[in-house]
């Protein structure tokens, strides 16, 4: 049966590389490489949005947290559909009035500031390193379960595969591999949950067994209430304003497509989360006493499910990790190439040179998290908590200047810069020294909002040309 696992995984990776090669062949311009030529339909667009959201934090991290503390964490993730509604109802109609290649490019146009663009790019690079670290850790766990190799070897192999196909194909490769990966995730969870429930005489039997061995599993007591609420805020703010998601709005054809695509994303994300919650409960009964909850999902796939189904489930976990990391690597590459190199160092750089810088950046940003893991950073921390830290950094840095830019004409570059710096610095300080029962996104968001308002009102009124493209007409086609 081990040979079957090898065949499935090797075939899967070969297909991913083939799609990367096709993406390279289809890429004819910068716009193709960074935002898929703004030609995505709602099916591909919605699937790639959902796949980007669904990561190791879902299949490894969420199950790991539920295994450790119980059902209460699920309430945090139920804010996600609300966040996506906010994105399509409030942000998208004005945000896409002017198409850009990157989120920091939007900051420059809206606020008339190269510095705002550069700071945005630096925040992206910092947060991306944090996030990719979680995915690489999860990749090592899966490789250890599937192939019996050491987690470190698995991390190295996982990193190499991701970097290679992202380097080659750009956004076109990413969105089509995302579509493939989302299919695998949906099929994997839909097949795995009923098979897992067969061990417990259905959902009712599972709930009864969980209550017997862990009475507080369905109680709010697993987390302090304030911590749950502030983690939920991190997911809401981060789901709206993280660059790898926002850039998908530019990649889809029009607002009508965006509406349908995000509705599809909500359905896919919510459905997968609900099925993952059930698997987390199953792991409590099947594998009590694990050293870390992050092992729960790989063990379910390996020891509980039939070999073929379990391998598909492990491929789904791998897909979730890859579909998020490739998007973040692309965002990081664009931050280095378009927002730092061209914007601040060599404004007349040729497209070929910018692409070379981007690919060097993708390689560097992909390797740094692996090095940090080797040095022992975030050792022993659950994958989901690393993911939430990334979300908190992005939320505190970008939500206020991104959303405020399309809602408040009086907002200035001084306010945007202060909001980004103040939000990220406060988040970092709170994470290191603040009350652990209040997740750092709350103080980071409050400081970001106050800085935005105070510094904007203290500065000169911004020129009309900065805000007019986002207020003159709203893209609201039926």
Average pLDDT per consecutive 10 residues, the chain (478 residues; last block may be shorter): 71 73 66 65 84 70 75 77 89 86 88 91 82 75 75 80 66 70 78 84 85 76 77 83 80 88 90 84 82 73 73 70 69 76 74 76 79 65 61 87 94 96 93 84 94 96 91 57
Nearest to 140 by CA among 126, 161, 166: 161
Q: Left (φ > 0), alpha (ψ -120 to 50) or beta: where does 350 sit?
A: beta
pLDDT at 171: 60
Distance in angstroms (rounded) separating the CA atoms of residues 227 and 72: 11
Distance in angstroms (rounded) separating the CA atoms of residues 317 and 184: 9
Distance in angstroms (rounded) separating the CA atoms of residues 416 and 413: 5
Nearest to 146 by CA among 351, 324, 310: 310
pTM reported for the whole predicted model: 0.79
Nearest to 323 by CA among 124, 78, 59, 92: 59
Q: Is residue 74 part of a domain?
A: yes
Q: Is residue 412 part of a domain?
A: no
* Contacts within 8 Å (CB) and 24+ apart, 463-468: 463/112, 465/112, 466/109, 466/110, 466/111, 466/112, 467/110, 467/405, 467/409, 467/411
252, β-bridge pairs: 40
Nearest to 66 by CA among 75, 78, 55, 79: 75
pLDDT at 116: 93
Distance in angstroms (rounded) separating the CA atoms of residues 252 and 247: 9
pLDDT at 452: 97
Q: Which domain holds residue 238?
A: 2-379
Q: Is residue 149 part of a domain?
A: yes
C-alpha dist (Å) from residue 325 to 52, 234, 320, 453: 8, 19, 9, 34
C-alpha dist (Å) from residue 58 to 65, 138, 180, 182, 318: 10, 11, 17, 13, 11
Contact 289/203 with Cβ under 8 angstroms? no
40, β-bridge pairs: 252
Query: CB under 8 Å to 447, separation ≥6 — which residues?
Result: 396, 422, 423, 426
- Retrieve residue 69's tokens: 């503390």
Nearest to 415 by CA among 158, 107, 179, 184: 107
- Retrieve residue 301's tokens: 């796939």
**Start-end of H helices in 87-224:** 92-95, 103-111, 114-147, 151-197, 202-213
Distance in angstroms (rounded) separating the CA atoms of residues 206 and 305: 16
Q: How many domains, the chain?
A: 1
Distance in angstroms (rounded) separating the CA atoms of residues 430 and 100: 33
Distance in angstroms (rounded) separating the CA atoms of residues 241 and 398: 6
HSE-up (13 A, CA, CB side) for residue 252:
28
Q: Is residue 408 part of a domain?
A: no
Q: Is residue 244 part of a domain?
A: yes
Contact 299/310 with Cβ under 8 angstroms? no
Query: Mapping DSSP to helix (H, G, I), strand (E, B) and coil, where does residue 475 land?
Result: coil
CA 431 to chain centre: 20
Nearest to 402 by CA among 198, 124, 125, 130: 124
Q: Is residue 86 part of a domain?
A: yes
Query: CB under 8 Å to 360, separation ≥6 — which residues?
Result: 336
Q: Is residue 254 part of a domain?
A: yes
Q: Is residue 35 part of a domain?
A: yes
For the chain, report the end-to-end CA distance as a whole number of angstroms: 52
Distance in angstroms (rounded) separating the CA atoms of residues 309 and 304: 10
- Retrieve residue 258's tokens: 């965006």
CATH of residue 336: 1.20.1730.10
pLDDT at 320: 65
Contact 144/150 with Cβ under 8 angstroms? yes
Measured over all CA atoms, what is the biggest interatomic distance in the chain, rounded to whole angstroms? 69
Mind listing the pLDDT tens digit for each residue in 339-395?
A: 787 777 777 777 777 777 877 877 887 788 778 777 766 544 445 566 667 778 888
Nearest to 297 by CA among 269, 272, 265: 272
pLDDT at 186: 81
Q: Residue 351 is inside which H or E element, if any? A: helix 351-374
């Amino acid at each position: 049966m081990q040979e079957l696992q090898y065949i499935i995984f090797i075939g899967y990776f070969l297909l991913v590389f083939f799609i990367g090669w096709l993406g390279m062949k289809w890429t004819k311009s910068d716009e193709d490489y960074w935002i898929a030529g703004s030609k995505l339909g709602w099916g591909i667009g919605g699937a790639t949005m959902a796949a980007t959201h669904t990561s190791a934090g879902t299949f490894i991290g969420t199950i790991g947290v539920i295994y450790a503390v119980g059902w209460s964490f699920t309430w945090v993730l139920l804010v996600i559909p609300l966040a996506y509604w906010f994105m399509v109802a409030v942000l998208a109609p004005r945000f896409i009035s002017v198409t850009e290649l990157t989120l920091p490019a939007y900051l420059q146009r809206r606020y008339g500031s190269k510095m705002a663009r550069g700071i945005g790019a630096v925040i992206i690079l910092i947060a991306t390193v944090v996030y990719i670290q979680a995915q690489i850790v999860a990749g090592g766990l899966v490789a250890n379960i599937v192939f019996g190799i050491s987690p470190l070897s698995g991390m190295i192999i996982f990193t190499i595969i991701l970097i290679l196909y992202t380097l080659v194909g750009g956004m076109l490769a990413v969105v089509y591999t995302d579509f493939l990966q989302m299919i695998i995730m949906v099929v994997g969870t839909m097949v795995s949950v009923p098979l897992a429930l067969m061990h417990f005489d259905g959902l009712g039997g599972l709930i009864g067994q969980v209550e017997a061995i862990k009475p507080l599993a369905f109680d709010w007591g697993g987390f302090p209430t304030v911590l749950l609420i502030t983690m939920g805020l991190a997911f809401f703010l981060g789901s709206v304003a993280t660059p790898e998601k926002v850039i998908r709005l530019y990649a889809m054809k029009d607002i009508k497509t965006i509406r349908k695509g995000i509705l599809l994303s909500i359905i896919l994300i919510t459905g997968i989360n609900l099925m993952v919650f059930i698997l987390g409960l199953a792991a409590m009964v099947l594998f009590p006493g694990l050293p870390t909850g992050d092992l729960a999902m790989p063990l379910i796939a390996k020891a509980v499910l039939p070999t073929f189904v379990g391998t598909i489930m492990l491929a789904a976990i791998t897909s979730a990790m890859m579909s998020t990391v490739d998007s973040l690597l692309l965002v990081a590459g664009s931050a280095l190439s378009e927002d730092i190199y061209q914007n601040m160092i060599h404004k007349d750089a040729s497209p070929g040179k910018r692409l070379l810088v981007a690919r060097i950046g993708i390689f560097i940003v992909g390797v740094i998290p692996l090095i940090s893991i080797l040095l022992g950073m975030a050792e022993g921390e659950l994958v989901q908590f690393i993911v939430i830290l990334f979300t908190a950094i992005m939320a505190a840095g970008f939500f206020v200047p991104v959303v405020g830019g399309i809602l408040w004409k009086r907002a200035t570059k001084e306010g945007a810069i202060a909001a980004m710096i103040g939000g990220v610095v406060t988040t970092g300080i709170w994470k290191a020294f603040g009350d652990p029962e209040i997740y750092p996104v709350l103080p980071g968001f409050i400081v970001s909002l106050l800085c935005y308002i105070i510094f904007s009102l203290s500065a000169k009124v911004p020129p009309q040309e900065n805000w007019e493209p986002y207020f003159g007409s709203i893209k609201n086609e039926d």
